[in-house]
Amino acid sequence: MAAVETQSPVDALQKSLGNALLTSASPAEDLAAATAVFNGFIPKRKPEEIVVATGVADVMAAVKYANAKGLKVSVKANGHHWQGSGLREGSLLINLEKLKGVRIDVEKKTASVQPGVTAIDLHKEVSAVGLYFPGGHCPTVGISGYTLNGGYGWNSGHVGSASDHLISIDVVLADGSFVRATDDNEYADLLWAARGAGQGFFGVVTCFEYRLDLLPRGITLMQSVFPLDSAADVIKFWNEKRAELPSHMEVVTIMATGPTGHRCTVFLGVSFADTEEQGRKDLAVLEDCPVQPRLVHDVHPSDVYEIWGILDKAFPKNWNMNVDVAVVPFEATTDMAASLAEHFKTSPSPLDHVLFAGIGPKAGSVKSAFSPEGNFEPAVYVGCYGIIEKIDVGKEQEVVDWTVKGQDLVWPHAVRGYVGEGRQETAKLRRCYTPEAWDRLEELREKYDPARLFLSWLAADPTFVQ
């Protein structure tokens, strides 16, 4: 009697994955596409194998395959994180960018969203039926990493962050099993962690369910431009007026280089009002700014696409970027702005900029890893962004040095970091969480991933991580 051939577990899983599995023998263009990231500073870290998932079954099989082969798992959806945190040396990379489904329940005002969806993808769908989700400040931000990092976006100061809107997740766990986590079931602690754990989450989320808000119908935009040396005075005025600003109004100040090559201070106010009349009334508070000269001033009805367009120009895809951010109290920003304006005069690239973005009172209103007390104090998100063209060879280290020196002026005043954009040095990473939240995340990691299958936060070197 002939012996019956049996497949090994690895061979069986490999067969089930089929063309979704990429190895070093796969076409170079497929490997490049599967490891592509938004930043032009492409890390040299290379995964051992890649699964480009087309459904939940692929994700489950990929996790079981990694277990069988003894590979650690990293996860990438859109690859917008500037350090390319999903790309890890020797890992099995699970690529989720093909999972782009969006299902809306208009009556319940909820949306079920797969991880390959971007902010602009989701807005197109929900706005078409009169609903709104506070997506990232850039349209190309992926919904997955954004939500897992906490997700502070447009109008979050009024309606809450992405993590505040998260009501359930579908997750593939370290043993390859599939569960749904809600606030009311046995996996509630997984949902708590998904609201802020970022790259430190110990599972693969295949679907996010969000509550939605009504679409603001009177979005109104104010843009003013002042000389660079006016930055501290503009931010001082903002501080003086912020108590008069409604929570549905967002203020951003940017030190940037204008189209004529002159460095300047851009002062943006966005009212997410229900009517244009209310929006103009909101912005009238900022129009009284006494700082002179005001080089440009305009107030007009707007929408999310126009607002995205302003910031999107500052982050061209595939340019080389180096970023660091921190969250600081309002009272520290005026003196800091004066120092950063002087520092900005030394920026090596015309796309370098310094961003001050107000964080309103409703962000972090749900208890989570992002906001353990459910009470995110109003503050300012301050970041130095170094950005150069890929063809500008030789300036990379200049940009890195400029960014690091700029944030050295910021971090002494910081109340916390933001895991979604900060440099993931160990000390700064710990400051993205309260000690209690950090300890709870580690306890949950031990519970759900005791063998540490999933690679956690990328611990970054003080220089740019390749």
Convert the pLDDT of each residue in 388-412 to its tens digit: 876 565 677 888 899 999 999 999 9
Q: pLDDT tens-digit profile of 243-253?
A: 999 999 999 99
Contacts (Cβ under 8 Å, ≥6 apart) of 436:
372
The pLDDT of residue 466 is above 70: no
With vertex at residue 363, the alpha carbon angle to CA 341 and CA 201, rounded to the nearest 5 degrees, is 100
Least confident range of 30-44, 108-122, 247-261, 355-369: 30-44
Higher model confidence: residue 362 or residue 303? 303
Q: Which of 213, 171, 212, 211 is nearest to 193 (CA)?
A: 171
What pLDDT is attached to residue 421? 82
Instruction: Give how far Cα 9 sits from Cα of 26, 66, 286, 350, Å.
Output: 22, 11, 65, 54
Q: Is 436 exposed, middle or buried (0-12, 13-18, 19+ CB in 10 A)?
A: exposed
Mean pLDDT of the chain: 91
What pLDDT is attached to residue 56? 98
| pTM, rounded to two decimals | 0.94
Q: What would the two tokens of residue 42 be?
A: 């492409």
Q: pLDDT tens-digit profile of 161-192?
A: 999 999 999 999 999 999 999 999 999 999 99
What pLDDT is attached to residue 464? 34
Q: pLDDT tens-digit profile of 216-228?
A: 999 999 999 999 9
CA distance 314 to 350: 10
The pLDDT of residue 61 is above 70: yes
What pLDDT is attached to residue 463? 35
What pLDDT is attached to residue 37? 84
CA distance 376 to 364: 5
Q: Once rounded to an integer, what is the mean pLDDT over residues 340-363?
A: 92
CA distance 168 to 181: 6
Q: Once rounded to an integer, what is the mean pLDDT over residues 98-109?
A: 98
What pLDDT is attached to residue 2? 55
Element (H, E) at 237: helix 231-241
The pLDDT of residue 261 is above 70: yes
Share of the chain above pLDDT 70, in %: 95
Instruction: Give how far Cα 440 sits from Cα of 165, 175, 197, 377, 409, Å.
Output: 21, 21, 11, 21, 31
CA distance 141 to 134: 12
Element (H, E) at 93: strand 92-95
Contacts (Cβ under 8 Å, ≥6 apart) of 456:
199, 200, 202, 445
Q: Once rounded to an integer, what is the mean pLDDT over residues 134-147?
A: 94
**Angle (deg, nearest 10), helices 56-69 and 9-17:** 150
Q: What would the two tokens of residue 194 be?
A: 């998904």
**Angle (deg, nearest 10), helices 396-408 and 333-344:** 160
First-to-final CA distance of the chain: 57
Share of the chain above pLDDT 90, in %: 72
The pLDDT of residue 379 is above 50: yes
What pLDDT is attached to residue 16? 86
CA distance 130 to 215: 5
Domains detected in the chain = 218-422 (3.40.462.20)
Q: Is 1 exposed, middle or buried (0-12, 13-18, 19+ CB in 10 A)?
A: exposed
297-316 per-residue burial string, b: 16 or more CB within 10 A, e: under 16: eebeebebeebbebbbebbe
Pairing between strand 73-76 and 21-22? unpaired
What pLDDT is attached to residue 392? 60
Q: pLDDT tens-digit profile of 296-305?
A: 999 999 999 9
